[in-house]
């Protein structure tokens, strides 16, 4: 790694001149946000399959020099962006290229874990390159499947000094990937309750604050409750609300949760099961309270178009999920990918990304960088980010966070059979 310089916070900070892009983008993208996943499905026919022979699986020479290219597949709106001279650039990637002589082909091609898996699976099964060296997948069914099918490259443990030093305890040695043998966290987020104080005050004047999971089941809000229509967030958070830790739950617990959810639906409490467009529904007043993700509310709050939307970690606890970086088998440039995976654990880089992404950063020490931005620019925004428990959760919050249940294939089948009919009614 010739010509490697130390990270220069001033350089990154210089790039961050006007931190508006994410907010602007979110505002503009508000309408399309719900359509994103659908659009992806309808357009899903691109075969990004680069059949050029990658490294044969299992025999990666990690001591080799980086090839100088990194093909990175990520989700939309999930990395820092700035407008420099009228052009959108990604500062953290620019700096990476600058320091390591590795060009990054950054592509926002992941719209859903399962759909992306469906797209690359044929190449993985054939032992060919997917065309990507790095991809980001949420812990859950898809990740479990990827690991079970042996589609992910095992990582060298001696090539991630930043990770060893700075990674938050919550992303080290996770249950879904013991010892981080295959994955390293990109960002985490919370699933909790999103709500609109104005509507809640109208509907329940005597108790206008949302604190508990039971509020999602309160008949006062009949027809104004939004739930996630999925096999991960809805069941896990509901179990948590019942005082059951999902990770140690039994089939009886699942059935009890399903019963509760079915009653909630049949009593007309649920307005709709959402994939991800619950924010629009909250803003439009279709629902007053919904299951939600922390980062979304943070952005909506700041964008000001629906002032006052709140995100609450219920007293019973919230779910913390993690999007993970990993190298798919057959990747042409694994060393470059590994270099990058450790690079993002540099606290300054992590801070630069966190101030834009607004989900939970895996590097708590990055807070100093964000506060530095506040001191440099005087922009209150950075202070809000640095002090937000949604980006830097407090230890008390951390104690209330639980992860998804990791399911075996047979368990997953049973689980899906229990929970899917609720929202697929």
Q: What are the residues binding other proteins (CB under 8 A)?
A: 31-32, 34-35, 38-39, 41-42, 112, 114-115, 117-118, 121, 125, 145, 149, 151, 223, 230-231, 265, 270-273, 275, 277, 280, 284-286, 409, 416, 420, 423-425
332 φ, ψ (degrees, to nearest 5): -80, -25
Cβ proximity to other proteins: between 21 and 121 the closer is 121
Residue 33 beta carbon to other proteins: minimum distance, rounded to whole angstroms:
9
Residue 142 beta carbon to other proteins: minimum distance, rounded to whole angstroms:
8
Cβ proximity to other proteins: between 36 and 349 the closer is 36
Cβ proximity to other proteins: between 280 and 377 the closer is 280
Residue 214 beta carbon to other proteins: minimum distance, rounded to whole angstroms:
20
Residue 382 beta carbon to other proteins: minimum distance, rounded to whole angstroms:
33
CB atoms closer than 10 angstroms to residue 56: 10
Cβ proximity to other proteins: between 22 and 271 the closer is 271
32-37 long-range contacts, CB within 8 A, separation 24+: 33/276, 33/277, 33/279, 33/280, 34/275, 34/276, 34/277, 34/280, 35/277, 36/76, 36/111, 36/276, 37/111, 37/112, 37/115, 37/275, 37/276
State the DSSP string of 202-251: HH-TT-----SGGGGG-GGGTT-EEEE-SSSHHHHHHHHHTT--GGG--H
Cβ proximity to other proteins: between 84 and 220 the closer is 220
Cβ proximity to other proteins: between 212 and 416 the closer is 416
> Residue 207: CB partners within 8 Å, gap ≥ 6?
none
Residue 1 beta carbon to other proteins: minimum distance, rounded to whole angstroms:
36
Residue 160 beta carbon to other proteins: minimum distance, rounded to whole angstroms:
28
Q: Where are the beta strands (DSSP E) in 213-355?
A: 225-228, 270-274, 289-293, 310-312, 318-326
Residue 231 beta carbon to other proteins: minimum distance, rounded to whole angstroms:
7
331 φ, ψ (degrees, to nearest 5): -60, 140
State how far the Cα of 363 lies from the Cα of 246, in Å rounded to an integer: 26
Cβ proximity to other proteins: between 95 and 231 the closer is 231
């Amino acid at each position: 790694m010739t010509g490697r310089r130390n990270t220069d916070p001033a350089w990154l900070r210089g790039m961050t001149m006007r931190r508006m892009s994410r907010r602007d983008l979110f505002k503009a993208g508000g309408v399309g946000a719900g359509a994103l996943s659908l659009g992806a499905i309808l357009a899903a026919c691109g075969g990004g399959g680069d059949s050029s022979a990658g490294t044969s699986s299992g025999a990666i020479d990690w001591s080799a020099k980086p090839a100088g290219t990194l093909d990175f597949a990520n989700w939309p709106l999930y990395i820092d962006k700035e407008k420099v001279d009228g052009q959108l650039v990604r500062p953290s990637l620019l700096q990476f290229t600058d320091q390591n002589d590795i060009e990054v082909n950054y592509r926002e091609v992941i719209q859903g874990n399962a759909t992306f898996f469906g797209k690359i699976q044929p190449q993985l099964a054939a032992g060919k390159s997917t065309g990507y060296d790095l991809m980001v997948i949420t812990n859950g069914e898809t990740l479990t499947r990827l690991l079970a099918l042996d589609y992910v490259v095992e990582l060298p443990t001696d090539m991630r000094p930043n990770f060893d030093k700075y990674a938050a305890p919550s992303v080290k040695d996770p249950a879904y990937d013991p010892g981080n043998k295959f994955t390293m966290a990109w960002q985490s987020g919370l699933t909790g309750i999103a709500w609109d104080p104005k509507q809640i005050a109208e509907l329940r004047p005597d108790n206008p604050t949302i604190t508990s999971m039971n509020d999602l089941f309160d008949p006062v809000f009949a027809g104004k409750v939004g739930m996630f229509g999925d096999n991960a967030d809805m069941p896990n958070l509901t179990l948590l609300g019942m005082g059951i830790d999902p990770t140690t739950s039994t089939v009886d617990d699942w059935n009890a949760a399903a019963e509760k959810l079915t009653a909630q639906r049949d009593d007309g409490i649920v307005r709709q099961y959402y994939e991800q467009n619950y924010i629009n529904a909250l803003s439009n007043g279709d629902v007053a309270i919904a299951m939600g993700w922390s980062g979304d509310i943070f952005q909506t709050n700041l964008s000001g178009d629906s002032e006052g939307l709140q995100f609450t970690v219920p007293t019973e606890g919230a779910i913390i999920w993690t999007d993970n970086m990993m190298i798919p088998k057959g990747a042409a440039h694994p060393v470059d990918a590994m270099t990058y995976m450790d690079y993002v654990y540099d606290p300054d880089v992590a801070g630069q990304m966190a101030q834009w992404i607004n989900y939970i950063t895996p590097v708590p020490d990055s807070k100093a960088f964000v506060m530095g931005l506040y001191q440099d620019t005087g922009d209150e925004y950075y202070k809000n980010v640095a002090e937000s428990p949604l980006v830097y959760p407090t230890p008390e919050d951390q104690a209330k966070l639980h992860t998804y249940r990791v399911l075996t294939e047979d368990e997953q089948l049973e689980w899906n059979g229990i929970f899917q009919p609720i929202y697929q009614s």
